[in-house]
Structure 1
Amino acid sequence: MKSNKKYGFAVAATFIWIGFLCAISFMEAWLKFRAPGVTIEIGLGIGKLVFGALNKVEIVLALIILFNLLLNKSKQLSVASIFFYVAFVIVLLETFWALPALDKIANLVIHDQPLPPSNLHIYYVVMEVIKLGCLILFGIQLLNGSNVSNSLKKEI
């Protein structure tokens, strides 16, 4: 059995990232507010901590993928890499713009201050959906381009 493992770290990091993203952004984010005794203030405080941690995990996973791609350049993955780079840019936007701004809004709510009108939360959700879609498409292409899926089919 001979398999092409040059993108193994990128494959693993991509699907771990997808798992974190689905679990936090699309499940934990809204479920915490349904738990008994969780007030808006407590939920927002938890959200700030969890999304800050998720962002750090995303950065580490994105860097693992980036280094794996840079070390193993392939023409097969050049188009698929665009999906990764879109996800990476979204993480950077979230890190340096969206999350700090959302934290400020959360702090206003926590301290019972008036809120300025903002569509930032909607933009953040849209970015998360686009990021998830890009990661899924990238992961599928990564599997196809790296022959990992072919070697798995041969084993089965």
Structure 2
Amino acid sequence: MLPRSTDPFPDAVAAFVSLVWLGMLLGVSFLATPVKFQAPSLELTVALEVGRVTFDIFSRIEWGLAALLVIATFFPRAPRAEMVFTAVAVLVVSIQAFWLLPVLDMRVEAVIAGAPLPPSMHHGAHAALEAVKAVALVAVGLVALFRLGWRDRPENVAGGL
């Protein structure tokens, strides 16, 4: 079994990637998407089309971020918690890319074509998975920051805040 890495660079990369990804996730999924559907002058079909394109592009970006995070956590052999939370984030991206987004795309196509659809659990499932991914990314970032000694620096101690 390979020993754990003591090199700080992979932890810095893991913290950076996970927190940048988290910021993008919060901006796309929890801010821009819900707000778009509150705009009264934006037709539902247009909002759905914009959402489909947005999530298609964001999914591709997430695959790149997931690859960087895997490289930063698995190859230098980060702590188990960091690897587990990275695996959770990658698993969620996989579920979304290979199952959920295609199903949601088909529903969007049907709505755009004018077919009435009954409510489904797919949007709720997507939101729940986005929340799980966000928690996993926060955890990866915190573990990596703690390994970098972030909590031990005087400016980060409660008395120094």
Q: Which TM-score bucket, shorter chain as reference?
A: 0.7 to 0.9
- Whichever residue aligns with residue 92 of structure 1, its letter is S
1:39 corresponds to 2:39: no
Question: How much does 1:68 deviate?
Answer: 1.4
Aligned residues: 151
Q: Taking structure 1 as reference, are residues 67 and 99 closer, same or farther at Cα in structure 2, changes over 3 Å only?
A: same
Share of identical aligned residues, percent? 26
Matched, 1:81 2:83: yes
Q: Which moved more, 1:137-146 or 1:93-102?
A: 137-146
Q: Output the CA distance in 2 between the equivalents of 1:146 and 1:83.
A: 17
Distance 1:152-1:142 versus aligned 2 partners, 3 A rule: farther
Q: Offset at 1:130?
A: 0.9
Aligned: 1:135 with 2:142: no
Tell me the TM-score normalised to structure 2 length.
0.85
Superposition pairs of residues 143-154 of structure 1, within 5 angstroms: 143-150=145-152, 153=155
Question: For residue 13 of structure 2, what is the aligned residue in structure 1?
Answer: 9
CA contact (8 A) 2:62 2:93 kept: yes
Structure 1 gaps, min length 5? none
Shift of 1:139: 0.9
Q: 1:55-91 CA distances to partner (integer Å, 9 max, x unpaired)?
A: 11111001001011233113xx212321111111000
* 8 Å contact kept, 2:14–2:73: yes
TM-score for both structures, normalised by structure 1: 0.87
**Residues 1:150 and 1:109: Cα distance change in structure 2 (over 3 Å):** same
